[in-house]
Amino acid sequence: MPVKFKVFRSILFSKKGTLYVYIMVLAFFMTFINFKFIASFNSMQQSDIPDIVVKGKMDEDGELKYKYYNDMPDVSSQLRNQLNEDVKIYPVTARSMMTDRDPLTNATIEYTVYGVSNEFLDDVINKNIQNGNKIETGSHEILMGSYAKNFYELEIGDVVNHPVTLKKDWMEDDIGLYKLSGVLSNQLSYFKGGIFLSREKFEKDYGKINDNMIFIYLDDKESFEETLSLLQSLRMSNPSIGTISMNYYEKHGIMQNTILSCSFWGIMSLIVILLLVSYLMKGTSRKIGILKALGISNKIMVSVFNGGMMIVLVISMILALITTEILTLAYNHYLSGFYGFEVEEFMLNLYCVWVDLVFIIICFCALSIRIYKLTRKTSPKAAMQKIN
Amino acid sequence: MIIKAENIKKCYYTGKEAHLVIDDFSYTFEEGKIYLIKGLSGKGKTTLLSLLALLDDIDGGKIYYDNELISNANMDKKCVLRSKEIGIVFQDYGLLQELNVIENIILGDIITGNLSEVEALERSDQIINMLQISDKKNCYPNEMSGGQQQRVGIARAILKNPKIVFLDEPTSSLDGENTKIIVSFIEKYCHENKKLVIIATHLDSFDNIADDIIEL
């Protein structure tokens, strides 16, 4: 080990163990920030959440029935007529299978049958198939979200022994009609309890059905506000419209939230790291005084500390990246077991390296200033203090 | 090198109250000689040594190194002088506990760039031989006696072959045998190499080898 690093270690980390603890603490904070970032990054990937979801009114008793919501005939066509083509409107017929708790997050999961247009299947669903294939035109096939597939304990190609239909009430005949053709990726978390079938095919078999839900996708804030105000005015004249849920700001604010969240945890970690260094610096003035008495200038002293601190920070960063990689692999393995197919939901990516680099640069600068102040303030006469 | 002190003063403050520790001290220290600064505890021996070794600033008067006024020089200049021309031995040895003997001896000169690592290792080998601690070269300070640690401190101070060596109470916590070794080494080192040695002590161990004794 080079003498300079030994001197650095001797001054700040006089007990060998404290250096290892410090590296572990740093690595822990960086791993934590990496996970925060990966989780936020995952949310950013989930761009297929509808910006606005319009649902038909619930029944007066408020009880969730198989038909889910009341019909909203003509609402989607009215929207289509009055909004520009950039706003994508997908009418949906949804039926409620059941509601359950997510075993991973304890959030509510709604297992829902969605009768969607082929256009919606092509634009949103088909590009998010993790396992299996898209629905073959004209066939009795369905796609399922990962939770639904897991809940109903199905494999690709299995016949669904549950009532899958878009009729307002299901009958015994509706069981075993459909086959599972594919499972959706977890990136499409909004639809993880979803069961998708082609509405066109269903209408061909059973006749026309009405929408009770509309998914709206748009690109900009102006379109969002325009659509929202049109929906509000439609709701005044059309009592069939129930709730209007907005995901636009949440969806487009993810990046901002990621930066805010990572910055918050970064600052908290930095404060803890600085407090630790301040604690470690207690009682170091005599040692610094001795080095100064030996003729080591402030500049050289700061460079010794900076060099040592950089080594510690880089080692911590490497450890944090390795820990993150191991933990993501373990978590993905656990998720794969849970879903029953290979999942790579949490991935260490290049952005994590950048986040860690920014973190260690900020730490380095803050520590460097702290060390500079200490060495400047310490007089070489401190070397003459007697140890009692 | 000659050190000339002219009417130097040093005060310490406790609250607003000033205590004059060194008052109007004047003296000329010449090379090739050993000087003792003696006095009872609290008389300012270590303070005077710190001022002469440029570890602390004076509150009045002047200090010259080879006729160059040095007491007014900036920190960098004083630092260069300490690095190249001055060796200091501390009462409590001033060793870093986490470094072994050799590392403690060479660290200052390696870090400041006075000596290359090879040169420093070569010289430190010679010096620890002279100081009879070559068998301890890989030991850590806590594995050595006080006398051996003090010899490591001396080895570190003279590694760069400085013109002046300051020693603060070098034998105050040593036994008779270790004191003898250090006294005879200092005498030999000073007279053979024509170095200026200034020792602050309250003991009589160096009285026989001193060229002059300054009583405070």
**What is residue A127's predicted lDDT score, i.e. its pLDDT?**
86
**Residues B123, B106: Cα–Cα separation, whole Å:** 9
**What is residue B51's predicted lDDT score, i.e. its pLDDT?**
92
Task: Report residue A333 as tokens.
Answer: 């393995």
For the stretch A74-86, pLDDT in tens is 899 999 999 988 8
Give the strand pairing for B34-38 and B196-201. parallel
**What is residue A274's predicted lDDT score, i.e. its pLDDT?**
84
For the stretch A125-162, pLDDT in tens is 998 898 899 998 888 999 999 889 888 888 999 999 88
Residue A114 reports pLDDT greater than 90: yes
Position A1 confidence tier, pLDDT thresholds 50, 70, 90: low
Position B198 confidence tier, pLDDT thresholds 50, 70, 90: very high
The lowest-confidence range among A144-148, A213-217, A253-257, B131-135 is: A253-257
**pLDDT above 70: percentage of residues in chain A:** 97
For the stretch A16-65, pLDDT in tens is 788 898 899 999 989 988 888 888 777 776 667 899 999 998 887 777 77
Q: In what order do the strands lie in the sheet with A88-101?
A: A129-132, A179-184, A141-144, A194-198, A108-116, A88-101, A213-217, A52-56, A241-246
For the stretch A272-330, pLDDT in tens is 888 888 888 887 888 888 888 888 888 888 888 899 999 999 999 999 999 999 999 99
Query: B151, B132 in Cβ contact below 8 A?
Result: yes
Residue A88 reports pLDDT greater than 70: yes
**What is residue B72's predicted lDDT score, i.e. its pLDDT?**
87
* Number of residues assigned to chain A: 388
Mean pLDDT (chain A) is 87
**What is residue B102's predicted lDDT score, i.e. its pLDDT?**
92
Q: Can you name the residues that pair with A269 across neighbouring β-strands?
A: none
Long-range contacts at A16-20 (CB < 8 A, ≥ 24 apart)? A16/B98, A18/A280, A19/A312
Q: What is the DSSP letter of A163?
A: B
Show residues of chain A in contact with B90, CB under 8 Å: 290, 293, 383-384
> What mean pLDDT do residues A7-16 have?
81
Mean pLDDT (chain B) is 88
**What is residue A346's predicted lDDT score, i.e. its pLDDT?**
78
**Residues A294, B96: Cα–Cα separation, whole Å:** 13
Residue B152 reports pLDDT greater than 60: yes
Cβ contacts of residue B2 below 8 Å, gap of 6+? B28, B29, B30, B31, B64, B65, B66, B67, B196
For the stretch A176-204, pLDDT in tens is 999 999 999 877 888 989 999 999 999 99
* Chain B residues with CB within 8 Å of chain A CB: 46, 49-50, 53-56, 75-76, 79-84, 86, 88, 90-92, 94, 96-99, 103, 106-108, 110-112, 114, 117, 156, 168
Give the three-class secondary structure for A376: helix
A303 touching B, CB under 8 A?
Answer: no
The size of the A-B interface in CB pairs under 8 A is 96
Residue A260 reports pLDDT greater than 90: no
In the block, residue with structure tokens 């939770």: A147
> What mean pLDDT do residues B109-116 have?
87
Residue B174 reports pLDDT greater than 80: no
Question: Domain extents for chain A?
Answer: 3-44+254-387, 50-246
CB contact under 8 A, B92 and A387: yes
What are the b/e assignments for A95-117, b being 16+ CB within 10 Å? bebeeeeeeeeeeebbbbbbbbe
Residue A388 reports pLDDT greater than 60: no
CB contact under 8 A, B88 and A293: yes
Task: Report residue A198 as tokens.
Answer: 């082609």
Contacting A residues, span 345-384, partner chain B, CB-CB under 8 Å: 379-381, 383-384
What are the b/e assignments for A182-208, b being 16+ CB within 10 Å? bbbbbbbbbbbbbbbbbbbbbeeeeee
